[in-house]
Chain A
Amino acid sequence: MANDKEIIDNIANKEYEFGFVTDIEMDVAPAGLNEETIRYISARKNEPEWLLEWRLKGLQAFGRQKLPAWQNFEMPPIDFQKISYYAAPKSKKKYDSLDQVDPELLATFEKLGIPLNEQKALAGVAVDVVFDSVSVATTYKEKLKELGIIFCSFGEAVREHPELVKKYVGSVVPYSDNIFAALNAAAFSDGSFVYIPKGVRCPMELSTYFRINTENTGQFERTLIIADEGSYVSYLEGCTAPMRDENQLHAAVVELIAMENAEIKYSTVQNWYPGDKDGNGGIYNFVTKRGICKGANSKISWTQVETGSAITWKYPSVILQGDNSTGEFYSVAVTKNKQIADTGTKMHHIGRNTRSRIISKGISAGQGQNSYRGLVQMGSKADNARNFTQCDSLLIGDRCGAHTFPYIESKNNSATVEHEATTSKIGEDQIFYLNQRGIDSEKAVALIINGYAKEVLNQLPMEFAVEAQKLLSITLEGSVG
């Protein structure tokens, strides 16, 4: 019979399931970040002058910025000059069908369980796959086109819809926002672009899979989603990454814009390579995600399941500008071994009767450190604004840590802020209880974890929720006896 200690050690030793490298020819920029690199990237992508200018402003802002120092972990030294800022699969052809796609690439997705196949397409998911930095396959495009929905790579949007990109890029996350946002503005490689026209309800979940594949290639994805008046869209982002020796930097930017009566639901399952059990390797995931509820009665909802990365630093936020607008943040963050997660959200209440809801579920195992950091800001005009925050921490073993940093700033007396927090441990009693009903310890932990995270998992689209549940179970397999 394995005891707790053995099983806890066991999980620490569990190899990263998705650690393998695909061998596809890459087109890689020389390492280093300077004007030359930026011009190289921009030229490679045949970008218009205004975008190059914008990138260069980003580069300047990057030069002025310092690494943040307020987070609850020691920032590792990052040598920005050692990173290569551009990688694209050599074959840049777009495909009409999956048969034409590199079979090895497909095999990789298969191994990851990413159902990029006819089945998934039939299931109603349009998949815009970002393999490293350039989109290689897009499905269901025609159907979306009929509705006037634009769903394409960022690069394509720059070419086909420059007026939209020019108007909105950087409007929610300016290039000067923080050092990683500046880095992204300067060097972003590709990403996704979505535009939902007035009154259109996007009939399927839009989904993008990100994947890091080349040594020393930072990932600087940029996503821009605009939901015009009265429209609705649900967007899924998920990722896994192969085994690495060196740390890799991932600094994505996501901007969401919801007009009057529009709703955007953005879901993420993040499973970048977390490093080995001693904390070597692993992805540094510094992400800036922000949405703006521009119009009245609009709604933005972030849901995230964070299981990967050596360091996760992200605070998907909502600016509640329109009256009666709603912002939501649902998060499960898992840290094990030496993983660090410093994540949370910011809700900026500007308009009247704005509402926000924050549900954060941290899970720490091994020596993992999990911090929730939240800011709820009630502006002077935010009459009757309301926030509810529920912030729970679950500890597995006694070498991990959970921390909460809830900040509240209120300039309006009629606004209300509610905060609840709990910390609990997976008890031996709970596991034994389930054992006694014929359920082994691994399944017992999975049940308990999924029960704990249910409120968040329930927010995910059905199909994704099942995958996320599996991921949580795999991640924490054998964590307690």
Chain B
Amino acid sequence: MLIIKNLHAEVEGKQILKGLNLTVNAGEVHAIMGPNGAGKSSLASVLAGRENYEVTEGEVWFEGKNLLEMAPEDRAREGVFLAFQYPVEIPGVSNINFLKTAIGEIRAYRNLPPLDAKAFLQLSKEKQKLVEFDAKLVNRSLNEGFSGGEKKRNEIFQLAMLEPLLSILDETDSGLDIDALRIVSKGVNKLRSPKNAFLIITHYQRLLEYIVPDFVHVLYDGRIVKSGTKELALELEEKGYDWLKEKEEVGTN
């Protein structure tokens, strides 16, 4: 589904991604861990097409298409979803109207007829239930005045509504209390299918107890320096990232 080859990217002239390789297949859940500033959010931004990131080298293929050539909205329409680390507030735009617009655009891109009001409402109800999202928040202005946790949960609600192929969750767990974490994880697990894939960026092993990944990667200084299975997450929790740093230095010397 997703093939990243030797990806180099910079922001404001600063090299952030330095030759990143990663392959994600349908049905898989990959966790990406790494210290602060390693480039995890940058990777998510580059995949989603944020304008201020410049790709200087490498390729990204999504479902056989060159992702880097697409506008951000087309990437979304193709099925790339990013649950933001810091979701923005958009005053006056109701959550539900926003989603209606988004779904309308995505369906139009895929040559699907628009959902009628009834079908849309039905879908919304169903997904609210699936991810246990508060109905009151559905009609409020998009993220306006939402608590940190509510914003994160709204990202998951949107994910459920838009049914993307590849979901990138950027530290969705940070700022969530344990109950919210459980609910969010439960939601994600329900949304897992053989057709879609998840890229879960997290600092903490904790989340991976709920959403069990197929693979765990360590992103360090703009590269994936180690990959393994879920046991790697435990190891990281125990030892931190410093041992990787040494290893990295040995490796490059």
- Chain A interfacial positions (CB closer than 8 Å to B): 1, 3-4, 427-430, 432-441, 443, 447-448, 450-455, 481
Contacts and interface: CB of A to CB of B under 8 A. Distances in A.
A455 B49 contact: no
A438 B93 contact: no
Given A432-B72, A481-B51, A438 B106 contact: yes
B73 A448 contact: no
A429 B88 contact: yes
A455 B92 contact: yes
A454 B144 CA distance: 14
Given A433-B84, A433-B87, A439-B101, A452 B72 contact: no
B88 A433 contact: yes
A436 B76 contact: yes
A437 B92 contact: no
B77 interface: yes
Q: Which of A433, A437, A439, A454 has the most B CB atoms < 10 Å from its CB?
A: A437
A451 B141 contact: yes
A435 B87 contact: no
Contacts of A433: 84, 87-88, 90
B93 A448 contact: yes
Interface in B69-97: 71-73, 75-77, 81-82, 84, 87-88, 90-93, 97
Contacts of B101: 439, 443, 447
Of B84, B90, B99, most A-chain CB atoms within 10 Å: B90
A430 B141 CA distance: 13
Contact of B90 (A1, A441, A447): A447
Nearest to A453: B92
Given A438-B109, A452-B91, 14 more contacts: A1-B49, A1-B51, A3-B51, A4-B51, A430-B88, A434-B98, A436-B72, A436-B73, A436-B81, A436-B82, A437-B162, A439-B105, A448-B93, A451-B91
A438 B76 contact: yes
A435 B80 CA distance: 11
B48 interface: yes
Contacts of A432: 48, 50-51, 72
Contact of B76 (A437, A454, A481): A437
Given A437-B76, A437-B158, A448 B105 contact: no
B72 A447 contact: no
Contacts of A1: 49, 51, 71-72
A452 B92 contact: yes
